[in-house]
Amino acid sequence: MQPQLILEDTIYTLEQLQNVQAPQIALAGRSNVGKSSLINALAGRKKLARISATPGKTQSINYYRVEPWGFYLVDLPGYGYAKASKSDREKWAKLINAYLVGTSSLKALAVLLDCRIPPQKLDIDLTAYARSIKIPLLPVLTKADKCKQKERSAKQAEWARLLEGVKPIISSSSSGLGINALWDAMKLYALG
Which residues of this protein are in contact with ligand GDP, per CB under 6 A?
Answer: 29, 31-37, 51-52, 55, 78, 142-143, 145-146, 172-174
* Calpha distance 164→86 (Å, rounded): 32
* Calpha distance 100→179 (Å, rounded): 24
Q: Which is nearer to ligand GDP, 24 or 32 (CB)?
A: 32
Q: Which is nearer to ligand GDP, 72 or 79 (CB)?
A: 79
Considering the complex, what minimum distance in angstroms separates the CB of residue 171 from ligand GDP?
Answer: 7
* Calpha distance 173→128 (Å, rounded): 26
* Calpha distance 114→24 (Å, rounded): 23
Considering the complex, what minimum distance in angstroms separates the CB of residue 102 from ligand GDP?
Answer: 24
Considering the complex, what minimum distance in angstroms separates the CB of residue 66 from ligand GDP?
Answer: 18
CB 61 within 8 A of CB 8: no
Considering the complex, what minimum distance in angstroms separates the CB of residue 170 from ligand GDP?
Answer: 11
Q: Which is nearer to ligand GDP, 76 or 190 (CB)?
A: 76
Angle at the Cα of 19 from the Cα atoms of 44 and 112, rounded to 5 degrees: 40
